[in-house]
Amino acid sequence: MTIEIHAGAVSQSRAEAQSGLRRVLTSAAIGQFVEWYDFVVYAYSAAIIAKLFFPSTDPTAALLATFAIYAVGFIMRPLGGFVFGSLGDRIGRRRVLSMVILMMGAATLGIGLLPTYSQIGLLAPILLVVCRLVQGMSAAGETVAPTPSSPSMRPASAVVSMSGSRIHLPICRPSWPRFLSCC
């Protein structure tokens, strides 16, 4: 068993690190708000979407189909996390974050501009599913994009290697000595 200790970004001053962390947290919070706002709008509008995108013969079935399409967005999240996480490692997380926010906005705009079931028939719910797939992937990408993955952005960690597999374990320092120093 091998244990290696890696220190994270130690070249920054404490003020620079706090400023950078504050900026990252603020942008991530704004991005999360934008992404989940679109999900919430769809859920609140489910009754209207059911009337517009499905046949009016059975309103209960139409509402259930609307919520099934809502679930499609959540099903796409693992794939979106994988795709946009690896893309963020290659082209940069800021670019991926911008791309997924634009994708979410475009998919939401697409849902708003879709023709209804009475106008194009069965193609309306199919296009709705496509827009929800894009929303689900971009929501996952927005969650993954601001997560730092380069070793220079990680906090200090220990790498434990057993039989060729590597496990990163964060090194946590207890905060209680700081509290005891004031007494």
Question: Phi and psi (nearest 5°) for 73?
Answer: -60, -35
The tokens for 83 are 């795709």
Note the pLDDT of residue 4: 54
In the chain, where do the E strands start and end?
2-6, 157-162, 165-170
Note the pLDDT of residue 92: 87
Q: What is the per-residue pLDDT across 143-158, written as a single tens digit (0 to 9) for each?
A: 765 555 444 444 544 4
SS3 99: helix
140: exposed, middle or buried (Cβ count in 10 Å: 0-12, 13-18, 19+): buried
Note the pLDDT of residue 181: 45
Query: How many other C-beta atoms lie within 10 A of the C-beta of residue 139?
Result: 27
Q: Are 43 and 114 in contact (CB under 8 A)?
A: no
Note the pLDDT of residue 15: 76
Specify whether the backbone of 92 is left (phi greater than 0), alpha (psi in -120 to 50) or beta: left
180: exposed, middle or buried (Cβ count in 10 Å: 0-12, 13-18, 19+): exposed
Along the 183 residues of the chain, how does pLDDT read in single tens digits?
A: 555 555 554 555 777 777 777 887 887 777 778 767 877 888 899 999 999 999 989 999 999 999 999 999 889 988 988 898 888 888 988 888 889 888 988 998 999 999 999 999 999 999 999 999 998 898 887 776 555 544 444 454 444 444 444 454 454 444 444 444 444
Note the pLDDT of residue 179: 42
Distance, in Å, from the CA atom of 123 to the CA atom of 53, rounded to the nearest integer, reads 9
Query: What residues contact 164, with CB distance under 8 A and at least 6 apart?
Result: none
Residue with tokens 């057993």: 162
Pairing of strands 157-162, 165-170: antiparallel
Query: What residues contact 8, with CB distance under 8 A and at least 6 apart?
Result: 151, 152, 153, 154, 155, 156, 157
